[in-house]
Protein backbone atom coordinates (compact mmCIF):
# COMPACT_ATOMS: atom_id res chain seq x y z
CA UNK A 1 0.00 0.00 0.00
CA UNK A 2 1.10 3.54 -0.77
CA UNK A 3 2.91 5.92 1.52
CA UNK A 4 3.35 9.68 1.21
CA UNK A 5 6.49 11.67 1.93
CA UNK A 6 5.65 15.32 2.58
CA UNK A 7 7.89 18.33 2.01
CA UNK A 8 8.51 18.51 5.77
CA UNK A 9 9.91 14.98 5.65
CA UNK A 10 6.98 13.49 7.55
CA UNK A 11 5.64 10.23 6.16
CA UNK A 12 1.98 9.17 6.02
CA UNK A 13 1.40 5.42 6.09
CA UNK A 14 -2.06 5.06 7.58
CA UNK A 15 -4.61 4.31 4.80
CA UNK A 16 -7.14 6.76 6.24
CA UNK A 17 -4.52 9.51 6.54
CA UNK A 18 -3.33 8.84 2.98
CA UNK A 19 -6.86 8.97 1.60
CA UNK A 20 -7.70 12.18 3.47
CA UNK A 21 -4.43 13.92 2.57
CA UNK A 22 -4.80 13.08 -1.12
CA UNK A 23 -8.51 13.98 -1.15
CA UNK A 24 -7.62 17.36 0.42
CA UNK A 25 -5.20 17.85 -2.50
CA UNK A 26 -7.80 16.78 -5.08
CA UNK A 27 -6.13 13.44 -5.79
CA UNK A 28 -8.22 10.27 -6.00
CA UNK A 29 -6.71 7.22 -4.32
CA UNK A 30 -8.26 3.80 -3.83
CA UNK A 31 -7.00 0.33 -2.90
CA UNK A 32 -8.00 -2.62 -5.09
CA UNK A 33 -6.86 -6.01 -3.76
CA UNK A 34 -4.23 -7.40 -6.18
CA UNK A 35 -4.17 -10.74 -4.38
CA UNK A 36 -7.35 -11.78 -6.19
CA UNK A 37 -5.13 -12.36 -9.24
CA UNK A 38 -3.47 -15.69 -10.00
CA UNK A 39 0.33 -15.41 -9.57
CA UNK A 40 0.94 -15.69 -13.32
CA UNK A 41 -1.21 -12.64 -14.09
CA UNK A 42 0.06 -10.68 -11.11
CA UNK A 43 3.81 -11.22 -11.51
CA UNK A 44 4.33 -12.35 -15.13
CA UNK A 45 6.39 -9.93 -17.23
CA UNK A 46 5.41 -11.32 -20.64
CA UNK A 47 1.60 -11.51 -20.54
CA UNK A 48 -0.04 -12.28 -23.87
CA UNK A 49 -3.15 -10.45 -25.02
CA UNK A 50 -5.60 -12.96 -23.58
CA UNK A 51 -3.81 -12.90 -20.23
CA UNK A 52 -3.96 -9.11 -20.21
CA UNK A 53 -7.69 -9.27 -20.95
CA UNK A 54 -8.14 -11.76 -18.12
CA UNK A 55 -6.26 -9.46 -15.73
CA UNK A 56 -8.48 -6.53 -16.71
CA UNK A 57 -11.60 -8.70 -16.37
CA UNK A 58 -10.70 -9.38 -12.75
CA UNK A 59 -11.12 -5.65 -12.03
CA UNK A 60 -13.99 -5.04 -14.46
CA UNK A 61 -16.39 -3.72 -11.84
CA UNK A 62 -13.89 -1.18 -10.55
CA UNK A 63 -12.86 -0.15 -14.06
CA UNK A 64 -16.51 0.25 -15.12
CA UNK A 65 -17.26 2.34 -12.03
CA UNK A 66 -14.38 4.73 -12.72
CA UNK A 67 -15.21 4.88 -16.43
CA UNK A 68 -18.78 5.83 -15.56
CA UNK A 69 -17.74 8.38 -12.94
CA UNK A 70 -14.84 10.06 -14.76
CA UNK A 71 -15.39 9.30 -18.44
CA UNK A 72 -12.50 6.94 -19.11
CA UNK A 73 -12.96 5.36 -22.51
CA UNK A 74 -10.04 2.98 -22.70
CA UNK A 75 -7.40 1.24 -20.66
CA UNK A 76 -4.31 -0.87 -21.19
CA UNK A 77 -1.51 -2.53 -19.25
CA UNK A 78 2.05 -1.26 -19.11
CA UNK A 79 4.96 -3.31 -17.80
CA UNK A 80 8.30 -1.62 -17.15
CA UNK A 81 11.14 -3.86 -16.01
CA UNK A 82 14.91 -3.50 -16.11
CA UNK A 83 15.27 -6.91 -17.81
CA UNK A 84 12.46 -6.68 -20.37
CA UNK A 85 12.12 -2.98 -21.28
CA UNK A 86 15.07 -2.23 -23.55
CA UNK A 87 14.65 1.56 -23.52
CA UNK A 88 13.79 1.79 -19.82
CA UNK A 89 16.39 4.46 -19.01
CA UNK A 90 15.19 6.66 -21.90
CA UNK A 91 11.58 6.30 -20.76
CA UNK A 92 12.50 7.13 -17.19
CA UNK A 93 14.49 10.18 -18.30
CA UNK A 94 11.27 11.57 -19.80
CA UNK A 95 9.02 10.49 -16.93
CA UNK A 96 11.39 12.09 -14.43
CA UNK A 97 11.08 15.54 -16.03
CA UNK A 98 8.40 17.70 -14.44
CA UNK A 99 5.32 17.79 -16.70
CA UNK A 100 1.54 17.77 -16.76
CA UNK A 101 -1.22 16.40 -18.99
CA UNK A 102 -4.48 17.71 -20.38
CA UNK A 103 -6.23 14.63 -18.94
CA UNK A 104 -5.98 12.78 -15.64
CA UNK A 105 -3.09 10.33 -15.29
CA UNK A 106 -4.71 7.27 -13.79
CA UNK A 107 -2.75 4.21 -12.77
CA UNK A 108 -3.65 1.02 -10.95
CA UNK A 109 -0.50 -0.67 -9.71
CA UNK A 110 -0.77 -4.43 -10.18
CA UNK A 111 2.81 -5.29 -9.18
CA UNK A 112 6.11 -3.51 -8.59
CA UNK A 113 6.39 0.07 -7.37
CA UNK A 114 6.72 3.63 -8.53
CA UNK A 115 6.99 7.16 -7.15
CA UNK A 116 4.78 10.03 -8.28
CA UNK A 117 6.01 13.43 -7.10
CA UNK A 118 3.18 15.96 -7.30
CA UNK A 119 2.76 19.66 -6.69
CA UNK A 120 -0.76 20.45 -5.48
CA UNK A 121 -1.99 23.44 -3.47
CA UNK A 122 1.55 24.76 -3.34
CA UNK A 123 2.93 21.65 -1.68
CA UNK A 124 5.28 19.16 -3.31
CA UNK A 125 4.95 15.61 -2.02
CA UNK A 126 5.89 12.11 -3.14
CA UNK A 127 3.43 9.23 -3.35
CA UNK A 128 5.17 5.88 -3.45
CA UNK A 129 2.66 3.54 -5.05
CA UNK A 130 2.61 -0.22 -4.42
CA UNK A 131 0.48 -3.17 -5.57
CA UNK A 132 -3.20 -2.38 -5.10
CA UNK A 133 -2.92 1.41 -5.33
CA UNK A 134 -5.16 3.27 -7.75
CA UNK A 135 -4.11 6.89 -8.14
CA UNK A 136 -5.47 9.63 -10.36
CA UNK A 137 -3.18 12.61 -10.88
CA UNK A 138 -5.59 15.40 -11.88
CA UNK A 139 -5.18 17.05 -15.27
CA UNK A 140 -2.92 20.09 -15.15
CA UNK A 141 -1.04 18.88 -12.06
CA UNK A 142 2.72 19.30 -12.39
CA UNK A 143 4.34 15.97 -11.55
CA UNK A 144 7.07 13.52 -12.37
CA UNK A 145 7.37 9.75 -12.05
CA UNK A 146 10.16 7.32 -11.42
CA UNK A 147 10.66 3.74 -10.40
CA UNK A 148 12.09 2.58 -7.08
CA UNK A 149 15.29 0.57 -6.85
CA UNK A 150 13.32 -2.50 -7.94
CA UNK A 151 13.05 -0.87 -11.40
CA UNK A 152 9.77 -2.67 -12.01
CA UNK A 153 6.14 -1.71 -12.28
CA UNK A 154 3.09 -3.33 -13.84
CA UNK A 155 0.14 -0.97 -14.08
CA UNK A 156 -3.25 -0.55 -15.69
CA UNK A 157 -3.56 2.87 -17.38
CA UNK A 158 -6.94 4.52 -17.88
CA UNK A 159 -7.46 7.13 -20.59
CA UNK A 160 -10.09 9.82 -21.16
CA UNK A 161 -9.30 10.44 -24.83
CA UNK A 162 -8.49 8.22 -27.78
CA UNK A 163 -5.10 9.87 -28.16
CA UNK A 164 -4.09 8.75 -24.69
CA UNK A 165 -2.09 11.06 -22.57
CA UNK A 166 0.69 13.34 -23.79
CA UNK A 167 3.30 14.91 -21.55
CA UNK A 168 3.50 18.73 -21.56
CA UNK A 169 6.84 19.83 -20.17
CA UNK A 170 6.27 23.58 -20.44
CA UNK A 171 4.74 24.82 -17.17
CA UNK A 172 3.42 27.95 -18.88
CA UNK A 173 0.95 25.75 -20.77
CA UNK A 174 -0.66 24.62 -17.55
CA UNK A 175 -4.41 24.20 -17.90
CA UNK A 176 -5.44 24.53 -14.27
FE1 LIG B 1 2.71 12.08 -16.37
**Which conformational region is residue 67 in: left (phi greater than 0), alpha (psi within -120 to 50 degrees), or beta?**
alpha
Whole-number Å distance, alpha carbon 101 to ligand 1 midpoint, is 6
Whole-number Å distance, alpha carbon 144 to ligand 1 midpoint, is 6
Bridge partners of residue 11, in order along the sequence: 5
Confidence tier at 138 by pLDDT (50, 70, 90)? very high
pLDDT of residue 164: 61
Whole-number Å distance, alpha carbon 128 to ligand 1 midpoint, is 15
Whole-number Å distance, alpha carbon 125 to ligand 1 midpoint, is 15
- Rounded Cα distance between 160 and 145, Å, is 20
Asked if residue 145 has pLDDT above 70, the reply is yes
Asked if residue 133 has pLDDT above 90, the reply is yes
Query: Of the ranges 33-42, 111-120, 135-144, 153-162, which one carries the lowest mean pLDDT score?
Result: 153-162
SS (H, E, C) the chain: CCEEECCCCCEECCHHHHHHHHHHCCCEEEECCHHHCCHHHHHCCCCCHHHHHHHHHHCHHHHHHHHHHHCCCEEEEEEEECCCCCCHHHHHHHHCCCEECCCCEEEEEEEECEEEEEEECCEEEEEEECCCEEEEECCCCCEEEECCCCCEEEEEEEECCCCCCCCECCHHHCCC
Whole-number Å distance, alpha carbon 167 to ligand 1 midpoint, is 6
- Rounded Cα distance between 20 and 170, Å, is 30
Stronger pLDDT, 161 or 174, i.e. the higher one: 161
Whole-number Å distance, alpha carbon 48 to ligand 1 midpoint, is 26
Whole-number Å distance, alpha carbon 98 to ligand 1 midpoint, is 8
pLDDT of residue 166: 79
Average pLDDT over residues 69-95: 93
Whole-number Å distance, alpha carbon 145 to ligand 1 midpoint, is 7
Query: Of the ranges 40-44, 71-75, 131-135, which one carries the lowest mean pLDDT score?
Result: 71-75
Global confidence as pTM: 0.94
**pLDDT tens for each residue of 65-76:** 999 999 999 889
Amino acid sequence: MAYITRESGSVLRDPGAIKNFLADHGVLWEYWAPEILPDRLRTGLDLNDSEKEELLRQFQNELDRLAHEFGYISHDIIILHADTTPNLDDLLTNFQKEHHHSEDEVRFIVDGEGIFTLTRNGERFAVTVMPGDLISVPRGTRHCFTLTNSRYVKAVRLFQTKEGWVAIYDASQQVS
